[in-house]
Amino acid sequence: MKGWSQSDQLLARYSFCNMAKYISNREIVKLFREIVAAYEAKGENRFKIIAYENAATGVEHATSELKDLWDDGLLDTVPGLGKTIRGHLDELFKFGKVRHFERVKKALPKGMFSLLDVGGLGPKSAYKLAKELNLNNLRDLQKAAKMGKIRNIPGFGPKSESDILTAIDELKGKSSRYLLTEAFPVAQRVLKYLRGHSDCERAEPLGSLRRMLSTVGDIDIAVASKKPKEIIAHFKNFKEIKRILDAGDRKSSVLLQNGMQVDLIVQPTKAFGALLVHFTGSKAHNISLREYAIKKGMSVSDYGIKVKGKLKEFVTEEDFYKFLGLDYIVPELREDSGEIEAAYRPASGKSNGLPKVVNHKDIRGDIHLHSNYPIEPSHDLGTASFEQIIKKAKELNYEYIGFSDHSPGYSTHTNKQIIDLILKRKKKIEYLKSKYRGFGILNLLEIDILTNAKLSVPQEALKLLDGAIAGIHSSHRQGKNMITKRLLLAIDSPYVKVISHPTGRLLNQRESYEADWPEIFDA
């Protein structure tokens, strides 16, 4: 390996083989984000930063673990992983570390990287705090804030010190649940593996994953089979398992190498419908369903429905709900929000039954899309070109799309530079509009609502667009009145057509900010 001495290589190989440490996608994303932070703190070339931001995004969206792709020689199938970064990953998987990454981080205080999880602290702020106060971890940061040391550092003050303490408290209470986008591809791999066994008649996800909630705890899976022991034995051989937590006759729990827990339950096909209803949940839905059944002289369980002491089994959920006199309730609606009452109305001759659930075929287009067009944005670039996005949209049978890249950086460009960049981009999009006649293409931008409630793009540039998407991307902890003012002034602009991520919430990372929502909706 380039840059490694022979003894270092031998030692690394020995250490890596004996430790057998599995490096998960989540860990790789964290590593790439640390390199981004290191480059930003050092003021490195913007293109280096973008390369690692794109790589982190590509890994986050990967449907397979990178270590498995590397084993199969398929790292080049992951968007955002260029040749150089793939080389670094090769070194990481072989030796457990990357010399280039160590050199990049060497001159920086180690403590700065542990501060990056604190909401509102960017790389440069984390670097300054870690260096000035000799911080090694979050505990040191919290102690310094409580002692009033942060307010004395240039660029900080009493309010930022208070905000840091709030952010640390929020971080401590952060959910241990996974994002749906993280859990879903893992579940799909497990399901594909289970469905490959000859004794598996059906395999489905359960719980919050099947209800498609935004966050997921453990991954729960059900299999329909007449031979549960064979299914359990097959499950225990899944290649991503780190440790088997429990294995019984029809249930098993395992810990995967990426840290996720997977729980499996096996049930005969003849009673599989009842099991799916019961373990899909939600708990509140099940309670209401049980109360509804009791009123009809029945009792429900994961084995079926009892009527006068006799158990009725169901192959499908549709039959289960039908027996109760209800229309089928799709998993996404099972949250005890009136769905049982709505499912009963048609059977009782009333209208206004269950709402129609949106399917992929109902989606006609997407107007919030970030491309990799080099507009020198204030925030992350996308990973795909205009042409690639159009191609994908056509494959999805979309009728239109909107290119809404982040606008040029407000603090790094003059108004004239911003206008010139947007004009150049407009010419490119106009060419695409003429090339793809009959397919709708909108020239949009996502612009910043600045802390002073102004927009980050001058009016002369806004006139060049088909419309703007405006969002708050900084100072999320301003007071309710100021947040409301920022949103209202953006809404009042004739060029702003959409407010992006209006609550400012980042799942598992940042809570929503406060705003006067009735006033905003009335605007």
Name residue 385's amino acid.
S
Q: Taking Cα atoms as reference points, which of 508, 493, 492, 500 lies closest to residue 445? A: 500
- pLDDT over 50 (residue 522): yes
| pLDDT for position 519 | 94
| pLDDT for position 381 | 85
Name residue 354's amino acid.
L
| pLDDT for position 9 | 44
Would you place residue 174 in the very low, low, confident or very high pLDDT band (cuts 50, 70, 90)?
Answer: low
Q: Which helix (H) or strand (E) holds 103?
A: helix 99-106
Query: pLDDT of 353-398, one tens digit each?
Result: 899 899 989 999 999 999 999 999 877 788 899 999 999 999 999 9
**6-106 shares its CATH topology with 111-172:** yes
Q: Taking Cα atoms as reference points, which of 431, 435, 451, 457 lies closest to residue 373? A: 431
Higher pLDDT, 159 or 17: 159
Name residue 189's amino acid.
R
Residues 416-428 have a mean pLDDT of 97
Would you place residue 21 in the very low, low, confident or very high pLDDT band (cuts 50, 70, 90)?
Answer: low
Q: Which residue(s) pair with 178 in the sheet?
A: 216
| pLDDT for position 173 | 60
- pLDDT over 50 (residue 425): yes
**Using an 8 Å Cβ cutoff, are 338 and 349 in contact?**
no
**Using an 8 Å Cβ cutoff, are 88 and 103 in contact?**
no
User: What is d(CA 212, CA 210) in angstroms, rounded to the nearest whole number?
Assistant: 5
| pLDDT mean across residues, the chain | 90
- pLDDT over 70 (residue 2): no
**Using an 8 Å Cβ cutoff, are 60 and 31 in contact?**
no
Q: Which residue(s) pair with 305 in the sheet?
A: 300, 312
Residues 98-124 have a mean pLDDT of 90
Q: Is 184 exposed, middle or buried (0-12, 13-18, 19+ CB in 10 A)?
A: middle
Residues 388-412 have a mean pLDDT of 95
Q: What letter does residue 312 receive in the DSSP assignment?
A: E
Residue 278 CB coordination number (10 Å)? 19
- pLDDT over 80 (residue 6): no
Q: Which residues contact 208 (CB under 8 A, 6 or more apart)?
A: 215, 216, 217, 281, 282
- pLDDT over 70 (residue 12): no
- pLDDT over 60 (residue 88): yes
Query: pLDDT of 443-464, one tens digit each?
Result: 999 999 999 999 999 999 999 9
User: What is d(CA 508, CA 175) in angstroms, rounded to the nearest whole number?
Assistant: 6
User: What is d(CA 147, CA 315) in angstroms, rounded to the nearest whole number?
Assistant: 64
User: What is d(CA 350, CA 438) in angstroms, rounded to the nearest whole number?
Assistant: 43
Looking at 1.20.120.1200, 3.40.50.300, 1.10.150.20, 1.10.10.10, the CATH number of the domain 111-172 comes to 1.10.150.20
Query: pLDDT of 251-305, one tens digit each?
Result: 999 999 888 899 999 999 999 999 999 999 898 899 999 999 999 999 999 999 9
Domain 272-348, classified CATH 3.30.210.10, yes or no:
yes
Residues 217-242 have a mean pLDDT of 95
Listed range (42-56, 187-201, 448-462) with the worst mean pLDDT: 42-56
User: What is d(CA 309, CA 125) in angstroms, rounded to the nearest whole number?
Assistant: 67
| pLDDT for position 46 | 83
User: What is d(CA 509, CA 119) in angstroms, rounded to the nearest whole number?
Assistant: 7
**Domains of the chain: which residue ranges?**
6-106, 111-172, 178-267, 272-348, 360-522
- pLDDT over 60 (residue 435): yes
- pLDDT over 60 (residue 47): yes
| pLDDT for position 325 | 95
20-37 in b/e form (b: 16+ CB < 10 A) is: eebbbbbbbbebbbbbbb
Higher pLDDT, 145 or 63: 145
- Percent of the chain past pLDDT 90, that is, above it, reads 67
Residue where the block lists tokens 């499908």: 316
| pLDDT for position 63 | 72
Would you place residue 20 in the very low, low, confident or very high pLDDT band (cuts 50, 70, 90)?
Answer: very low
Q: What letter does residue 368 receive in the DSSP assignment?
A: E
User: Token digits for 488?
Assistant: 């209202």
Higher pLDDT, 5 or 126: 126
| pLDDT for position 272 | 98
Q: Which residues contact 124 (CB under 8 A, 6 or more apart)?
A: 40, 41
* Residue 328 main-chain phi, psi, to 5 deg: -65, 130
Residue 176 CB coordination number (10 Å)? 8
Q: Which fold has domain 178-267?
A: Beta Polymerase; domain 2 (3.30.460)
**Using an 8 Å Cβ cutoff, are 235 and 194 in contact?**
yes
Our CA angle for 271, 293, 326, nearest 5°, is 75
Higher pLDDT, 429 or 378: 429
Would you place residue 497 in the very low, low, confident or very high pLDDT band (cuts 50, 70, 90)?
Answer: very high
User: What is d(CA 156, CA 148) in angstroms, rounded to the nearest whole number?
Assistant: 11
What homologous superfamily is domain 6-106 in, according to CATH?
DNA polymerase beta, N-terminal domain-like (1.10.150.110)
* Residue 263 main-chain phi, psi, to 5 deg: -110, 130
- pLDDT over 50 (residue 473): yes
**Using an 8 Å Cβ cutoff, are 97 and 12 in contact?**
yes
Residues 203-209 have a mean pLDDT of 96
Class of domain 360-522: alpha beta
**Using an 8 Å Cβ cutoff, are 305 and 320 in contact?**
yes
- pLDDT over 50 (residue 11): no
User: Token digits for 321?
Assistant: 């709900």
